Structure 1
Amino acid sequence: MQIVDRLTRVIVWLCRIGAGLAFALLMAAVLIQVVGRTAGSSPVWTEELTRFALLYLVAFGAGLSFRSGDMVNVDVISETLPGNLPWALRLVSAIATVGLCIYLLSSGWKFMTIGKMQTSPALGLPMNFAHFIVWLMLALLALFAGLRILGMLTRTEDGLPTKAEEL
């Protein structure tokens, strides 16, 4: 299981770097917008860049929030159930998450390929750069849910959210 733990740490690290870079880009674009507006007019491309950066921030953060428990979760009832029922419900939830994400991956890929025919109006980027975000978020969410399932079935974790310091 050391390989899985090491792989998980690398994936978490890469997602944190991706989220951090997206957030830094978002802050820079907004700063340019604010400074530009006070100086008279802001560059048009900053609006588009802000949207793209925000979407990438969400894509990288979705799996991390699933792992840490920061994603919306209704566990008021499930965690009060007796015995192994909470564990089983967490497992079923992770399996459903993986299943849904894997099912949607092919549609996300089709959505991304449509973007090859379009460019963003202000930045001139191919829109498959923006549409890739949907596929990336689904893939990362499926990966983190799959890692939770693996950990639960090998009894190296109980499926409860991981504390931030353990990420």
Structure 2
Amino acid sequence: MIEPQHPAARRLLSAMTRLELAFGALMLLMILVLVFMQAAQRYMPGEGAAWTGELSRFAMAWLTFSVAGILVTLRGHITLEVVDTLPAPRLVRTVQVFSLLIVAVVAVGLSCEAWSLVSTEGQISSPVLGLPMSVVYIPVLAGMISTIIRSLLAAYVVARCGPLLSAGEHSPATDSKERNA
């Protein structure tokens, strides 16, 4: 897990994580309930509620993008750890910082696009719910902003404290802490 040394940054990251996890859990619960309702409606007389399908699809997108930043902090994104096994900590540090900066750049691009959709799609509404489409893209924008913050913070931590290694391995930063203890 990537954890900054500064107490204010640690508190901000912790608050963001709690908020994003709560929202993600709510979206997961919403998907579960709505999909169950859709399945139950197939076996009940009368017409089904079409809004359940639309809202569950929105919830899936909201879940996906809203917790994307947490994956950066928990090192849960798909990575190639081949470089992490090299005996050259400076090279590993450089590659990790570069990859985190690439994540931040991609998240900036996605944030710009999400902002464009939020600001221009207000006049279009979803087919069944009539929800303004600009509202649909707000969680996507928030998730990408979180990803930017978290990846830049992680790049700073790696640049300052050394490379982040897989579970069971030690970085130079943790080795020096263990020696001083």
Task: Please give the range of the TM-score, normalised by the shorter of the 2 chains.
Answer: 0.7 to 0.9
Contact 1:32 1:46 in 2 (8 A): yes
Distance 1:66 1:19, change over 3 A: same
Distance 1:160 1:43, change over 3 A: farther
Give the CA RMSD over aligned residues: 2.0
TM-score by length of 1: 0.85
Q: Unpaired runs of 5+ in structure 1?
A: 163-167
Number of residue pairs matched by the alignment? 160
2:100 corresponds to = 94
Pick aligned residue for 2:60 from 44, 51, 54: 54
Whichever of the two has the greater Rg, that structure is 2
Tell me the SS of whatever aligns to 1:42. coil
1:35 corresponds to = 40
Distance 1:89 1:149, change over 3 A: same
Q: Percent identity?
A: 21
Contact 1:66 1:145 in 2 (8 A): yes
Q: In the alignment, does 2:162 pair up with 1:130?
A: no
Contact 2:92 2:163 in 1 (8 A): no
Distance 1:145 1:160 in 2: 16
Tell me the SS of whatever aligns to 2:128. coil
Q: Unpaired runs of 5+ in structure 2?
A: 1-5, 168-181
Of 143-152 and 120-129, the range deviating more from structure 2:
143-152
State the 1:161 CA deviation. 7.1
Question: Where in structure 2 are the equivalents of 1:70-81 lying within 5 Å?
Answer: 70-75=76-81, 77-81=82-86
1:165 corresponds to = none
TM-score by length of 2: 0.79
Q: In the alignment, does 2:150 pair up with 1:144?
A: yes
Q: Deviations over 1:50-95 (max 9, x none)?
A: 00110111012211122222221122x2112222211221111111
Pick aligned residue for 2:74 from 64, 68, 91: 68
